[in-house]
Chains A and B, each alone.
Chain A
Amino acid sequence: MGIGKLLIANRGEIAVRIIRAAQELGIRTVQVHSAADADSLAVKMADEAVLIGPPAAAKSYLKIDAILEAARATGADAVHPGYGFLAENADFADAVVAAGLIWVGPSGQVIRTMGDKVAARTTAQAAGVPVVPGSDGRVDDPEAARAIAESIGFPVMIKAAAGGGGRGIRIAQTVEKFERLMPQASAEAKAAFGDGGLYLEKVIERARHIEVQVLGDGKTAVHCYERECSLQRRRQKVWEEAPSAALSPDQRETLCASAVALAQAVGYSGAGTLEYLFDDVTRQFYFIEMNTRIQVEHPVTEMITGLDLVREMLRIAGGEPLRLRQDQIRLTGHAIEVRICAEDPAQAFRPGPGTISALRVPGGTGVRFDTMLYQGYTVPPFYDSLLGKLIVWDEDRASAIARMRRALGELTVDGLPTTKPLHQLLARDPDVARADFHTRWLEPWLEANAHRLETEDTPE
């Protein structure tokens, strides 16, 4: 069948990214937008634009009825949700299909299954994918709890089954500690939530965040290797790369094969990402969750494989089978992405919307800048702070870091604060150069380097 006219139910840099892929396939585009985004780059680039509501996302980008009405009014036959907003909303996926439109992504049913932590864990286990060791559901009997704790190994995390937001969590380093903490945790859970039920999970102390990109057509699935996103602040990724420097070729093979097995088990269609924790000490990996959408950091995968993932999504949604066999997807070189956000790293990452008074975009071999900025554009205060993603590719990791330093030196975004100074420091950091990091590396580093972020100006 194929897509004729695509509605983009998103904004910012990813809307621009999707429009580019559609244009190259000869697909016409409809950009829906809030009143605050009337002069956005995506609106300027799309063939048509439809105002769907006021600035607040709840009244525009999250309004399913308004988006479907825009599709009807413009004759769009497909919807791409991007990331964030409604991208992983199974009801939206179902509503798009019920309206007779093509949903660019997996079915509502798959989104629902993989979005539920317990169902995703069970599905992963059934597909033979390792998950973080723990109790399968709640444990009430102290004897049984102790046996489970000993089998998964210490340290063990004790969590309230009814809990959330970190309340009722205790970490036991030894079995003696465990026996003391269990009754306390149970009593606290009972007091806080009216339910003393607990569950247990192994503590992965120094973990890397490694994720596998998959593509599926509903029947078969392939992987496009992994990305490492261990540098995070408040669980937000700030620096992403592909491949991971921590994996041997054998481990890469095993990890990626597990992701394909899980994608295949759920009949996955479109682009998806399976996130894992990788324990540097034991060399074990554990599935944590699946993202059933395109991800912010997808360009690093594109740089090492030469694929256009958004184009593949559009082809698959249009009814084509996977275009490439696994042995046709090759990993070449190394790619790094940094997120350029409108935040001031010298002021506790305070966001700062504003008007772009000057913009100089880096170029040259192996450099890509995905952004929605243009000179004179006013970044609205209503949405997240991502301005663009600077991506570099080179033959190996050390060269890619050098290229990132060079590209950052060329980047000028004036008129608002950006996170460029943070990335300039990271690109010169010896731990980063050795890929000697984990998911809790960056936050203490930021505290230790606060004085340098305050005085940093372009060093190159």
Chain B
Amino acid sequence: MTKQILSPLPGTFYRKPAPDKPAFKDVGDAVAVGDVIGLIEVMKSFNEVIADQAGTITGFPTDDEEPVMAGQPLVELS
């Protein structure tokens, strides 16, 4: 069954902590509840996206630096 981590906020999704840093998580990585999987920028303030489910990442339905709505899937887990 596919599980998803949803964006808690509207804004811009970032998969990296900084442009020159590696992504928080990649496909195939294990995720535990409480892990940071990305950032959402809302009006110039950055908010961590915390995993509320555990599993192995199978995909990122939203690309890095793309606009997101609240409730939009960011990560798919198996």
Interface residues, chain A, CB within 8 Å of chain B? 36, 54-56, 342-343, 350-351, 353, 380-385
Give Cα A414–Cα B62 distance, bound, in whole angstroms.
30
Interface residues, chain B, CB within 8 Å of chain A? 9-12, 41-45, 65, 67
Judged by DSSP, the binding face of B is strand
Given A55-B12, A382-B11; A353-B43 close (CB under 8 Å): yes
Query: Which residues of the partner chain B approach A350 to less than 8 Å between Cβ atoms?
Result: 45
Query: Which residues of the partner chain B approach A342 to less than 8 Å between Cβ atoms?
Result: 43
Given A55-B12, A353-B10; A384-B44 close (CB under 8 Å): yes
- If A351-B42, A351-B43, A351-B44 are given as contacts, then 15 extra A-B residue pairs at C-beta distance below 8 Å, sorted by A number, are A54-B67, A55-B67, A56-B65, A56-B67, A353-B10, A353-B11, A353-B42, A380-B10, A381-B10, A381-B12, A381-B43, A382-B67, A384-B44, A385-B43, A385-B44
Given A55-B12, A56-B12, A353-B10; A383-B43 close (CB under 8 Å): yes
Looking at B9, B43, B44, B45, the one whose CB has the most chain A CB atoms below 10 A away is B43
Nearest chain B CB to A341 CB, angstrom units: 9
Cβ A381 vs Cβ B9 within 8 A = yes
Residue of B nearest to A55 (CB): B67
Nearest chain B CB to A84 CB, angstrom units: 11
Cβ B45 vs Cβ A351 within 8 A = yes
Query: Which residues of the partner chain B approach A54 to less than 8 Å between Cβ atoms?
Result: 67
Give Cα A343–Cα B41 distance, bound, in whole angstroms.
14
In the complex, 12 of the A-B residue pairs with CB atoms within 8 angstroms, ordered by the A residue number, are A36-B67, A56-B12, A56-B67, A353-B11, A353-B43, A381-B10, A381-B11, A381-B12, A383-B43, A384-B43, A384-B44, A385-B44
Query: Sorted from nearest, which 5 A-B pairs have the closest CB atoms?
Result: A351-B43, A381-B11, A385-B43, A381-B10, A55-B67
Given A55-B12, A56-B12, A353-B10; A381-B42 close (CB under 8 Å): yes
Query: Which residues of the partner chain A approach B42 to less than 8 Å between Cβ atoms?
Result: 351, 353, 381
Query: Which residues of the partner chain A approach B67 to less than 8 Å between Cβ atoms?
Result: 36, 54-56, 382
Query: Which residues of the partner chain A approach B12 to less than 8 Å between Cβ atoms?
Result: 55-56, 381-382
Give Cα A36–Cα B69 distance, bound, in whole angstroms.
12
Query: Which residues of the partner chain B approach A384 to less than 8 Å between Cβ atoms?
Result: 43-44
Query: Which residues of the partner chain A approach B9 to less than 8 Å between Cβ atoms?
Result: 381
Give Cα A381–Cα B43 distance, bound, in whole angstroms.
5
